[in-house]
Structure 1
Amino acid sequence: MKRIPLSVLLTFNGGYVDTAGFLALQGLFPAHVTGNFVTLGATLVMGSSGALPKLLALPVFCSVILITRIVGLMLHRAGRPVLKCLLATKVILLIAAAIFSVIHGPFSSASSVANLVMGMTLVSAMAVQNALHRVHLAKSPPSTLMTGTTTQIMLDLAEILAGEKGEGAYQALTRVKRMILAVAAFALGCGIAALAIVEVPLWVFVIPAVLSVFSFVARVETPEGD
């Protein structure tokens, strides 16, 4: 049986967690820093609640990435399996978020302590995912941001449609295939998260936690940094 690529699994989870976080945590994007800037501005202008989680998301995200990279370098020097250790950290954070959400959810108030704890736990998990993807799966499309991926798809399609020949055209076609799969996985994650919010709101964050466990048996196509 062919194993699913790790990058695809991470991308599905990225879309799922970002959508579930936005819908369940009053507009917080756990993985989308730019989105939090936009919603923070809207929150401040409209005078609605929920500014604190969006304000804290960036420093928490940056701090976790910094710590993740330092720990990764230390593990590398010690001869430890860096990618598996970082994946384990992300899995633990997602499991903690799932347990917390079942006990304290649903999160109806954007200003509650429970909402803040849940949000920062998810932000931390997605920060670890972004860091490990950037270092260890750098040749794979990003797992939490589709703007650049979509742009590259259109650029490569333009080369193909323009009839470009040679190695460049072959590489463009190869990239398109991989990136379309990434966009599809992200979109599927978004759609299933939205459905889960409606059908099983109390258990919505259990799904990415369970799926993340399969990261350890997924196929790593382009391992780097270990």
Structure 2
Amino acid sequence: MQDADDVKDSTSQIHSSRCARLLPALLSVIAGSADVISFLGLGLFSAHVTGNLVVLIAQILGRGTGAACLVLSLPLFILVLGLTRLLVAGLEALGIGSLRPLLLLQFLMLGGAFVLCLVSGDHRDSGARNTLIAGQLAVAAMAVQNALVQLSLQGTPPTTVMTTDLTRFIMDAGEVLLGHNPAEVAEARHRAKHTWPVIIGFIAGAGLGAVCFAAGGLKSLGLPAGLALLALVMSLAIRPVGRKQ
């Protein structure tokens, strides 16, 4: 019969495992909501940086100019990715896990974007200083999220790139249905099991973001900021495995 400490430890492990499984889906909800809100309110995609490049090129060819928010988004995204990698290297050198610091950084960036939009009121002039900075903070937050999924949640499907996830899921589903190699079928089933919640999460986040924006305008950036805080709190319950969290 298990003693009280064994039961408590077992319960803690189950809670940690559940939080670890739910975190990628929550991150995809954050990305989906932030992407829709930033596009509708600030004129740029915060998570879908490739979309910013396409829109920027189209604007330059069509009008001869490109919006400042779009021009800044790509180099900023690359810069933040690089700085995040340096930060993780520094944390690892000190024996500190990277997941929680990166989630905290993401929350601070999304929270900052929300506060700036709250102060500015609900106007959509993406050239205004506060909204311009808010848009870039949202882009930076998604750069941090992209990095943390690869560095701190290794093996997790991307939480912001749905084209890749959807393609992977359909290919894996096809392998499960049509494959002949039991090992490859099992691997495809395992990947699909972890991919579909991320896809659903992003779609749900995009829908929530659109509804919240229709109701509250740029104040709806409080949604991804609040969810980022929830993700940070959830990470506190996740036990480090291998690499420290």
Shared fold (TM-score, shorter chain, > 0.5): yes
TM-score for the superposition, normalised by structure 2: 0.85
Give the aligned partner of residue 210 of structure 1. Answer: 226
1:199 is matched with which residue: 215, 219, 237? Answer: 215
1:15-164 correspondence to structure 2 within 5 Å: 15-26=32-43, 28-47=44-63, 51-164=67-180
For 2:119, give the aligned amino acid.
Answer: I
Whole-angstrom distance in 2 between the partners of 1:159 and 1:107: 49
Q: What is the Cα deviation at residue 177 of structure 1?
A: 2.2
Q: What is the Cα deviation at residue 13 of structure 1?
A: 0.3
Regions of 4+ moved over 4 Å: 219-225
Tell me if the contact between 2:23 and 2:234 (Cα under 8 Å) persists in the aligned partners.
yes
For 1:22, give the aligned amino acid.
Answer: F
Q: Deviations over 1:163-216 (max 9, x none)?
A: 424111011112122211110000000001011111121420011111111113
Q: Which has the higher helix share?
A: 2
Whole-angstrom distance in 1 between the partners of 2:174 and 2:239: 27
Larger of the two Rg values belongs to structure = 2
- Aligned residue pairs, count: 225
Give the aligned partner of residue 166 of structure 1. Answer: 182
**What stretches of structure 2 of length at least 5 have no aligned partner?**
1-14
**What stretches of structure 1 of length at least 5 have no aligned partner?**
none
Q: Deviations over 1:46-81 (max 9, x none)?
A: 328762111110111111111111111111111223
Q: What is the Cα deviation at residue 223 of structure 1?
A: 5.9
Q: Secondary structure at the match of 1:205?
A: helix
Q: Deviations over 1:128-148 (max 9, x none)?
A: 111111111121110110111
TM-score for the superposition, normalised by structure 1: 0.91
How large is the Cα RMSD of the aligned pairs? 2.1
Question: Structure 1 pair 209/17, CA: closer, same or farther in 2 (3 Å)?
Answer: same
Instruction: Find out whether 1:5 has 2:22 as its counterpart.
Output: yes
